[in-house]
Amino acid sequence: MSEMRRMLGVLRAEDADAPTRSPAPRLTELQALVGRANEAGISLEYRVLGEPLALSEAEELCLYRVAQEALTNVFKHTEGAVGTVELAYAPGAVTLRVQDAGRPVTAPGGPGHGLVGMRERLGLFGGTLWAGPIDNEGFLVEARLPLGGSLR
């Protein structure tokens, strides 16, 4: 309990030299994330299909973090990657697809927990994740988030 109180004290402390906290990323920042990936050497196209729907901050953060992790995997596991990041709005659901067509490479350090973490994050909202190779020429991460689902 004393450790928890200490941690809460640190979090509550108002230190003028403390780093500022920025708000959690929103889906409106997804295009900028794709832009940064392009600047780092991946050639990605960004698309939004359908009419954007109102999502909770938690749902937006969930999808943003899934996209962020999927792009991290593209960096770590492909060489010469080209691909797409697509956000598709439909009645009752939002689907995020991150697809690459780069040559697969083995990342140092072995497999991580990225796909497991994405699946768990989506599962909190009743969402699903499909990830795997496609057409022997790339990899697809597809996250589907039903709208109006409550945090489980």
Residue 2 lies in a domain: no
**pTM (2 d.p.):** 0.80
Q: Taking 90 as the threshold, does the pLDDT of residue 89 lie above it?
A: yes
Could you tell me if residue 97 is inside a domain?
Answer: yes
Strand partners, 100: 83, 139
89 close to 63: Cβ distance less than 8 angstroms: no
Indicate the number of domains in the chain: 1
Residue 39: give the domain boundaries. 25-146
State pLDDT tens for residues 24-61.
899 999 999 999 999 988 899 999 999 999 999 999 99
* Residue 16 included in any domain: no
Asked if residue 12 belongs to a domain, the reply is no
Domain of residue 58, CATH code:
3.30.565.10
pLDDT at residue 138 in the model: 84
- Residue 151 within any structural domain of the chain: no
Each residue of 61-72: pLDDT tens digit? Answer: 999 999 999 998
DSSP 37: H
Convert the pLDDT of each residue in 125-143 to its tens digit.
999 999 988 877 788 999 9
